[in-house]
Structure 1
Amino acid sequence: MVIPGEKPFYQPQTDTEPNPETISRILVVDDDVALRRSVPHILVQEGRSFDLCGSVAEAIEFLSVKPYDLILLDYRLPDGTGLAVLDWLGSADREEAVIMISGEDAIDAAIGALRRGADDFVRKPYHVAQLQRAVQSALHKTALERANRVMSEKLRASERLHRYLVESSPDLIFTLDAEGRFSYINPRIEDLLGHERRQLIRRPFVSLIMPEDVERVHNLLKTQQSGRTPGFSQELRLRRAQSGNMPGHITVSLQGIPMRNRDDPAGRYVGLYGVARDISERKRAEEIISFQAYHDQLTRLPNRILFRDRLELAIAQAQRKNGTLAVMFIDVDRFKLVNDTYGHASGDSLLRGIASRLSSSLRRGDTLARLGGDEFTVLLPDIADAEDAEIIARKILWALEEPFQLDHGEFRATASVGIALYPRDGESAEALTQHADLAMYQVKRCGKNNFRFFAPELNAHHQERIEIENDLRSALDRNQFELYYQPQISLSRQRVVGVEALLRWNHPDKGVVGPDTFIPVAEEVGMIGDISRWVLETACQQLADWRAAGFDELKMSLNLAPHDFDRENIVEMVTNCIGHYRIPASKLELEITESMMMQDTVGVAAKVRELRQAGIGVAIDDFGTGYSALAYLQKLPVSVLKIDRSFVRDLDGLMTNPIISAITGIAKGFGMQIIAEGVEHAQQARTLRALGCDVMQGFFFGCPLKADEALSLIGSTPRAV
């Protein structure tokens, strides 16, 4: 509240707006209007602002609205003395500095003011300089007190924050005295280890250490006391208080920092500041990760990496002792049949059962590992001779004789085992494993369910196969494949009615290589699809050329590999090809094997049905040599049965054959055509004609020829029978 026309007085305006927190706010309380108005002019300085009033009530009203840094308070006021304002300030616990200004000569006024909290007492009339010094001194004192209060509050806040951080930390924080005894521990100790804080104070830190780590901790603390190191970081195990089923210890990562007396010129060691973080979960995770890195997750056996490490160590020991060891490579026979028939869950169950039986067949110091899939390896260290390895191999085969109980019934598993001996078959881990693998593959090729030792000739055969694989990859790009054509003769019509396209590989070094040599390799390395596509394109193009030359009734027969029927687009590929070369569908005939028909009846039958619906002929090659059944012929709408050459060869000197008669009857019953392969003599041809077979092929009528040579044979009359 101010006198009408009287405004608060502020310091002069500057270009920079002052910070409100740095302005010194001054309240002038005096009933003398002229004196009250003159004070701001006397005390004016940058950073000061003034409010003016003339009574106790007005002063209290101003003070109720906002705080001030300094009050210039007249002793005598119209409604009381300035002591009343001081009393109000005291009761309100205010911190304003007060300079009492009075014309009273009695000392009692000054004493009363100072007792009530006034900072200074100035008598009227006063000298301007005297008032200025008093105000400057009071404001300076106020600024110092304010700064001190701010600093104290910051220190208290910082202390509260740090105490909160320490007390609430998820880490164990503690201090030790110079003797290594606890002087402080945060509450985390109770949750982490189950000990009460107060019980641990003054107890040695090593009382919480597991016995195996005590000596190491003693050495660490001695090193800190010597002052040679700035601190340490270690992993330790701390004891838990005995409670429930909790583990007896935890693993912590401990950071230790020595505490030294800063006032001591020598920096005397007074204790240790420690922070321990629980890393038990991390250590368990590391152990799991480490186990997973070196073990197979399905069988819990060592994996390829761990097996190699153990094998290399065993080789080094055998070298020092001039000893012998063996490596076995084990492959489960027909395992894919379990996965494809019963599912991967049953396959996994079978692998676990096999791993258990293999383990029980080995000695204590042997190592069984799973490389992946259905492949296992065995390390037999410290064997006397090959007979020891043979004994264990037989035990392995015997262990698998008992059928395995799967969810869908019993399954009898067998295995093919290859064995390599150190140092006879190799002196490195890689060579021994590779040679055992080669021996195992030879067992596979010779009937499975057996074992075999490595022999040098196996390596030579393997090297030859690798060379074929490498050369095969570039054969297509280098135009090394070629089709030969063998005529198919109709005796009743006395002419060539079709040709079978036969693939040959013109190898630059090995000469002409037959498909029996390279087709299995092409299937294994995934090249059979590209080769079959090339055969289809080349055969269709050749047939189109012959049709253009006037041979409209000629049929083209070609073989498809089993892997071709695994492709979803096989039917589309064939129909697109004959459409591109404008060949009637009935003039193309695709040959499939009996074994392929039996392996995947549903998948093959669907694709064969689509081919037949498109008008394309489908023949079963080498019919009668496999596991043919009438039920499969009902599901597969094939158009031709080809009698295998082995049955035709047996016709020499005979005028009848019950197998051929049966095949002929089957064909007639299903409305199929018959073609006989491998006819080499006139007598065979006459017998086949008598048994009801009209179309034949073989060396008697013509061997496989190149396209230009086959053309002259196609247009000629076949040999008389």
Structure 2
Amino acid sequence: MSIPGDQPFQPPRDAGASAAVFRILIVDDDPALRRTFPHVLANAGRTFDETGSIAEAIDHLERQHYDLVLLDYRLPDATGLALLDWLVEHRRDEAVIIISGEDAIDAAIGALRRGADDYVRKPYHVAQLQRAVDSALHKAALEKANRAMSQRLKASERLHRYLVESSPDLIFTLDSEGRFSYINPRVKALLGYERNNLMRRPFTTLVMPEDVERICTLLAQPSSLPGESFSVELRLRRDRSATHEDDSVTVSLTGIPMQAQGADPRKAGLYGVARDISERKRAEEIISFQAYHDQLTHLPNRVLFKDRLELAIAQAQRRTGALAVMFVDIDRFKLVNDTYGHAEGDALLRAIAARLSATLRRGDTLARLGGDEFTVLLPDINTPEDAEVIASKILEALAAPIMLSQGEYRATVSVGISLFPRDGATAEDLTRHADIAMYQVKRSGKNAFRFFDPALNTHHRERITLENDLRNALGRAEFELHYQPQVSLAQRRIVGLEALLRWNHPVLGSLGPSGFIQVAEELGLIGEISTWVLEQACAQLAQWRTEGHDGLRMSVNLSPFDFDKRDIVSSVTECLERHDVPASQMELEITESMMMNDSAGVAAKVRALRAAGVSVAIDDFGTGYSALAYLQKFPVSTLKIDRSFVRDLEGPMTNPIISAITGIARGFDLDIVAEGVEQAEQAEALQMLGCDIMQGYYFARPAPAAEVRSWLQQPSMVFPVH
């Protein structure tokens, strides 16, 4: 971008430098004398032109700039004074030495008054002429250098003024009393104020009341070192009469104290730069909200509920009080999803969440754990009957039908209740026992509530049976891998497959990981299972490679155990070597919560995997602890957008979140995969938002390797025809 009036900077030239070239014009009507001057004044770096009249001299001067003119006083067409007048009139800066045979002092005085630099009388002494010329050229060089310096200074000032006036940041200076002494035009666009109206007004008039004390403290602090700066985030008021936007703008302010002249240690004022970080703060707030809240209902999630429950337990222990935990499960919710679709199921969840919230007291917490499960914390109860009252209100609140787009629906819930300290002393125990009590209600007919009763704890017996069966599952070859394709809409081909574990239980049928992985982790079996999954996935990928499908990427889910207890890097690389699979075709998926636990250790292993060529993806990105700082710390390669965002694409907050995630991915040069795509509209919307690679039931359900082989041979099978 060019700056009007600006000229390229040139380095200053030393007036006495040997490389300097001086041009000298000799104006004299005596040809012999003209030829003598160059010999008398010869010096390195001097060039001479000569002429015999004023008219010829002007012609030379109009075509060429000279450093010095040696001018005879009397010439055929005029006196040398005429040329002096011409030089003044045309604002020329050539030095002039009059060389004349005039004896009258008036001639010399007149020439000097008209602008001549020196006067040498004929016949001249060579030394005198040489001294006059040397002095004039030295003076001319100094003046030229001074003019160049002045021009560079003005250009620098123009550049600085342009940068400050055009800056996207708010730049200002304050005097020693904290009042504006300068503010750039950005204040109009950012806050709506005319900058002239702010001059001499205190800076604090722009600061929101909650931040005034903090900024006053910073402004009042003495500066121990010249140029010592401070940085602070604060909110500045907007002029509500000039803008219809938010009342304030969040800025990151950097302040640099300006010192008084001399040895005075007091601050003479402050130089400040305020950058608008409102969008970044909004993005951080959204990500923070997602970490602790359910995306569908905006209720606290499992993490926040656990935090509040642990706090309530600690408070109850100090005052020897009691509290209750409720586990609320919607009856026959799967029927709604299967009959009317997930959109209606989501609408039902939101409606039930609203009714449950209306029944609770101030200070109670309602959370959604996921699916059709809610939990309630009642932190202040005196007797079990207090919890009964709330449970009865919940059942009554759902007695009225709920209006869905498909018509009325009458929902019921099963409620399990556990009490502190009777039924447990930890958050885990109280939640688990409330869950057990809820299942007892389910088995007894639903639409009721029940307190935890250890004597009827059939859930524990089922758990023991499941544990025993799980211990024998590997030996009985009951595990199987299914694969779900990851497709590129732009390329219309399968670019990867996610390996998904299935347990073919002899009694319960095919179970997904959610039905047994947590049990496997608690039993210490997860390491063996993960090793089996990795071996099977590598072997299958190697088989497909021999069949000509050598461009696929295999995604394998890892548990926290794999990072905490195993040498995961060597396990993966050795497995890849055994099956002759390139590391670039293996992707390991980790969760956000894994990054939070021993983040330094996990980050080191992620870096080692990436150095070995293995890709690492963050699964269900945006539903947990996602933060920009962790993306800088963990060199992952892929972000997987959680199915909850895909399912709620029409929600008011979802599109901005997905756009933010795709923007983050582009900024960090990461791949993006969207999970849980079930409809053509979702695929089209995601593609519009910048996501090309997707997986979900819309393309294909997870299937055994034999069925996947036909997809690889004919990829069009996974692309529905519109």
Unaligned runs of 5+ in 2: 1-15, 480-503, 518-531, 533-699, 711-722
Mapped partners of 1:217, 1:293: distance in 2: 31
Instruction: Give runs of aligned pairs for residues 307-706 of structure 1, distance below 5 A.
Output: 307-456=305-454, 457-458=457-458, 460-477=460-477, 515-516=506-507, 519=509, 525=515
Shift of 1:270: 2.6
- Please tell me the residue identity of whatever aligns with 1:257: I
Shift of 1:184: 3.1
Shift of 1:320: 0.8
Mapped partners of 1:469, 1:44: distance in 2: 110
State the partner residue of 1:258.
Answer: 257
Name which structure has the greater RCO, CA cutoff 8 Å, separation 6+: 2
- Please tell me the residue identity of whatever aligns with 1:37: R
Mapped partners of 2:125, 2:40: distance in 1: 11
Cα 1:398–1:275, aligned 2, differ >3 Å: closer, same or farther? Answer: same
Cα 1:229–1:39, aligned 2, differ >3 Å: closer, same or farther? Answer: closer
Mapped partners of 2:370, 2:159: distance in 1: 56
State the partner residue of 1:109.
Answer: 107
State the partner residue of 1:9.
Answer: none
Unaligned runs of 5+ in 1: 1-17, 480-512, 531-565, 577-721
Mapped partners of 1:406, 1:229: distance in 2: 64
Do 2:329 and 2:372's aligned partners in 1 also have CA atoms closer than 8 Å?
yes
Mapped partners of 2:467, 2:82: distance in 1: 115
The counterpart of 2:292, out of the listed 271, 291, 294, is 294
- Please tell me the residue identity of whatever aligns with 1:262: Q
Do 1:100 and 1:122's aligned partners in 2 also have CA atoms closer than 8 Å?
yes
Shift of 1:308: 1.6
> Which structure has the bigger radius of gyration?
1
TM-superposition CA deviations, 1:202-253 (whole Å, max 9, x none):
3433444444444444433332379899443333444444516554444443
Mapped partners of 1:91, 1:462: distance in 2: 110
The aligned length equals 485
Mapped partners of 1:268, 1:452: distance in 2: 72
Cα 1:343–1:39, aligned 2, differ >3 Å: closer, same or farther? Answer: farther
Mapped partners of 1:49, 1:339: distance in 2: 97
TM-superposition CA deviations, 1:290-329 (whole Å, max 9, x none):
3233222221211222212211111111111122222222
Cα 1:410–1:462, aligned 2, differ >3 Å: closer, same or farther? Answer: same
Cα 1:21–1:366, aligned 2, differ >3 Å: closer, same or farther? Answer: farther
- Please tell me the residue identity of whatever aligns with 1:85: L
State the partner residue of 1:670.
Answer: none
- Please tell me the residue identity of whatever aligns with 2:373: E
TM-score (norm: length of structure 1): 0.60
Cα 1:328–1:261, aligned 2, differ >3 Å: closer, same or farther? Answer: same
Give the match's secondary structure for 2:96.
Answer: strand
Do 2:324 and 2:379's aligned partners in 1 also have CA atoms closer than 8 Å?
yes
- Please tell me the residue identity of whatever aligns with 2:163: L
Q: Which moved more, 1:84-93 or 1:160-169?
A: 160-169
Shift of 1:175: 2.9
- Please tell me the residue identity of whatever aligns with 1:258: P
Mapped partners of 2:516, 2:260: distance in 1: 77
Cα 1:226–1:520, aligned 2, differ >3 Å: closer, same or farther? Answer: closer
- Please tell me the residue identity of whatever aligns with 1:63: L
Mapped partners of 1:271, 1:523: distance in 2: 64
Cα 1:95–1:189, aligned 2, differ >3 Å: closer, same or farther? Answer: same
Mapped partners of 1:514, 1:293: distance in 2: 34
TM-score (norm: length of structure 2): 0.60
- Please tell me the residue identity of whatever aligns with 1:461: R
Do 1:419 and 1:451's aligned partners in 2 also have CA atoms closer than 8 Å?
yes
Identity across aligned pairs (percent)? 66
Give the match's secondary structure for 2:222.
Answer: helix
- Please tell me the residue identity of whatever aligns with 2:59: E
Cα 1:568–1:76, aligned 2, differ >3 Å: closer, same or farther? Answer: closer
Shift of 1:181: 3.2
Mapped partners of 1:234, 1:186: distance in 2: 20
Mapped partners of 1:423, 1:466: distance in 2: 29
Shift of 1:522: 7.8
Do 2:85 and 2:114's aligned partners in 1 also have CA atoms closer than 8 Å?
yes
State the partner residue of 2:301.
Answer: 303
Do 1:26 and 1:51's aligned partners in 2 also have CA atoms closer than 8 Å?
yes
TM-superposition CA deviations, 1:1-22 (whole Å, max 9, x none):
xxxxxxxxxxxxxxxxx99994
- Please tell me the residue identity of whatever aligns with 1:179: E
Cα 1:246–1:272, aligned 2, differ >3 Å: closer, same or farther? Answer: same
Cα 1:257–1:419, aligned 2, differ >3 Å: closer, same or farther? Answer: same
Do 2:227 and 2:256's aligned partners in 1 also have CA atoms closer than 8 Å?
no
Do 1:224 and 1:231's aligned partners in 2 also have CA atoms closer than 8 Å?
no
State the partner residue of 2:41.
Answer: 43
State the partner residue of 2:683.
Answer: none
Mapped partners of 2:307, 2:513: distance in 1: 34
